[in-house]
Amino acid sequence: MNATILIYKKENIQNFDALKQLCLMMNIEIVLINNQMVQNKIKDLLNNKIKKTKKKNLEHAVIIFSNVPSLQMDQFLEKLKNNPTLCLKAIVTATNFNWTFENLYLHLLEEYQKNK
């Protein structure tokens, strides 16, 4: 599977254009997630088997990395470090691969709230 980044609410990511440039240079695909896609499973979003579902607005921006090498991920995280609004981040795992985007979002938000 190719290196891919799933992004929700790109407008809330301060350095989105810089992230986009990094993706172009590193040959990493970007999949932009909208409110009609959040009930799709992560695996379907990554495999371009996206179905439009009932609109659901999630509050915070999200970036999910799939098959992005750690050195490259470090560059992305550096660009995201000073984002003025909350941006939840995750790596696709064997466990969350079958979750819906919304379920992963809720899990990340719960973890963030426990650890802040």
What are the tens digits of pLDDT across the range 27-77? 999 999 999 999 999 999 999 999 988 888 999 999 999 999 988 989 898
Paired strand residues for 63: 7, 89
Q: What is the pTM of this model?
A: 0.93
Instruction: Name 66's bridge partners.
Output: 4
- DSSP readout, 42-82? HHHHHTT-----S----SSEEEEEES--HHHHHHHHHHHTT
